[in-house]
Structure 1
Amino acid sequence: MKANNKISLQRDTRAQVGIGTLIIFIAMVLVAAVAAAVLIQTSGILQQKAQATGKQSTQEVSSNLMIKGIEGVRAKNNATDIAGNISLLKLNVGLNVGSSPVDINQVVISITDGTTTNNLVYGNNAKTHDVIMKDFLTTNTAALNLKALLTATQTPPGANAKYFFTVEKIRDEDSSFTQTKPIMNTGDLVIIYVSTAAAGDAGFDLVGSIDTSAGLGDSGLVILPRTPVNIVLTPEAGATTVAEFVTPSSYGIRENLQLYP
């Protein structure tokens, strides 16, 4: 008996489908590679920006000046002939715990008596007024710079008292603070001198121990009794420091007055 053998032929189209799949796969790999390169580049940029932002944010919250006290000094000729207003403010300033170093050369002090406002920069800062304070000395003779603050006038900008302040170091363990480069670190303590001499003070010969017989420069401020005073210290980076107080109702015969806190 002869067996029935049937041969069946089928058309195979799988090869064509495989080529299309391969093309799509290669295209997907290329797209994925491009996307990966973009993501890597973007993540690198974002990381750098995040680090820079974090550093700036840390500096902003950690660079804080602290006004520990403010003393007022009245000009005088003798123990009984004393000016009727405050002629000089002495700001006792330090840094908060954990603060970053602060360059006093970049600090701006705004002071107002409710009528006049002075924006002051450090005496060795020539970037704001194109000149440094007249008669400013780069040595550590802070007393001579204070005398120049109180008495010297130049054109421009005018009386030193209206545009500048000076600083004297009280505590500086690492010797980071000089008149040329007044850098404050944690633990440092300085006195910032702000002239508040009025036009009528020109005839007084002394402010503290400073000889002002050459004539006191007019600051434009008048700090009489019961005067509200606002002082704002703005560093290059970090939070501003504000001190507000009202002067006593009478100065009496006192030459030095504790005004803040």
Structure 2
Amino acid sequence: MQMRRLSVRSDDESGETGIGNMILLIAMILVSALAAGLFLQTMSTLQQQAQETGELAMLDVSSGFGIVTATGDRDLDGDGNLSSSIERIRLTVKINPGSSPIDMENVVIQIKSENATAELTFGGTTEADADDDEFGADEIRDPENTWTATQHIVSSGALIQVWIDPADFSMYLSSSTTFEVRILPVHGSVCLLKTTTPSTYTSRYVDLR
């Protein structure tokens, strides 16, 4: 008769198996914790990006300018000699309801007619600063005191006067001339004035609205 052999495991072997299982369990717990941490970090980053995108979208919708008045001046020197074309454009502008404050130093103004195009940046706070490829701007009303000598920010309730000299970039706005002005903030909608000058000029100042 063949005798059956019995396999007997020592206490040392059982202990080694238990330690191995424990190490494996700890490793699995650590991997799971690391994966959970990475998942939470990724979700937080995505949430922050979505929030920033939403805020920028709201700025693009609500922010921007509105033109209150637009006037042409045919006597830049004020000496009584009226030019046959508009020598200076004066715009009165304000920001739209719900718009965030806008820094005029970051604003670009594009002006286009049948024979000329220009892109202007902020040049200063006097009419004389409307020169070549720059526009001038200064506050008329500033209830929140955001327009100062060192910063030129348009806030809610403010009125700003903008000066553009079209002749500086060879744009001659004689009678019956169609042209357009676009005011572009960094974020927000484009403010557009598209108009045609009167068929005849009868006085120094010309209404362009």
Under a length normalisation based on structure 2, what TM-score does the superposition of the two structures give? 0.81
Aligned-partner Cα distance in 2 for 1:221–1:37? 62
Which residue number in structure 2 is paired with residue 167 of structure 1? 137
The Cα shift of 1:95 comes to 1.0
Provide the secondary structure at the position in 2 that maps to 1:229: strand
What are the ranges of 5 or more consecutive residues in structure 1 without an aligned counterpart? 1-14, 125-141, 151-159, 198-217
Which residue number in structure 2 is paired with residue 255 of structure 1? 204
Aligned-partner Cα distance in 2 for 1:72–1:223? 9
Q: Higher strand fraction: Structure 1 or Structure 2?
A: 2
RMSD value, Cα: 2.7
Q: Given residue 236 of structure 1, which amino acid in structure 2 is its aligned partner?
A: V
Aligned-partner Cα distance in 1 for 2:151–2:32? 55
Aligned-partner Cα distance in 2 for 1:180–1:71? 28
Aligned-partner Cα distance in 1 for 2:143–2:161? 16
Aligned-partner Cα distance in 2 for 1:51–1:31? 30
The Cα shift of 1:175 comes to 1.9
Q: Given residue 97 of structure 1, which amino acid in structure 2 is its aligned partner?
A: P
Contact 2:116 2:169 survives alignment (8 Å): no
Which residue number in structure 1 is paired with residue 50 of structure 2? 50
Under a length normalisation based on structure 1, what TM-score does the superposition of the two structures give? 0.66
Provide the secondary structure at the position in 2 that maps to 1:178: coil
What are the ranges of 5 or more consecutive residues in structure 2 without an aligned counterpart? 1-13
Q: Which moved more, 1:23-32 or 1:51-60?
A: 23-32
Aligned-partner Cα distance in 2 for 1:149–1:22? 78
Name the % identity: 32
Contact 1:61 1:239 survives alignment (8 Å): yes
Which residue number in structure 2 is paired with residue 229 of structure 1? 179
Question: Number of matched residues?
Answer: 196
Question: Where does 1:82-121 land on structure 2 (aligned, <5 Å)?
Answer: 82-121=82-121
Aligned-partner Cα distance in 1 for 2:194–2:149? 28
Provide the secondary structure at the position in 2 that maps to 1:49: helix
Contact 1:165 1:192 survives alignment (8 Å): yes
Q: Given residue 194 of structure 1, which amino acid in structure 2 is its aligned partner?
A: I
Aligned-partner Cα distance in 1 for 2:29–2:193? 64
Contact 1:149 1:195 survives alignment (8 Å): no
Aligned-partner Cα distance in 2 for 1:228–1:242? 13
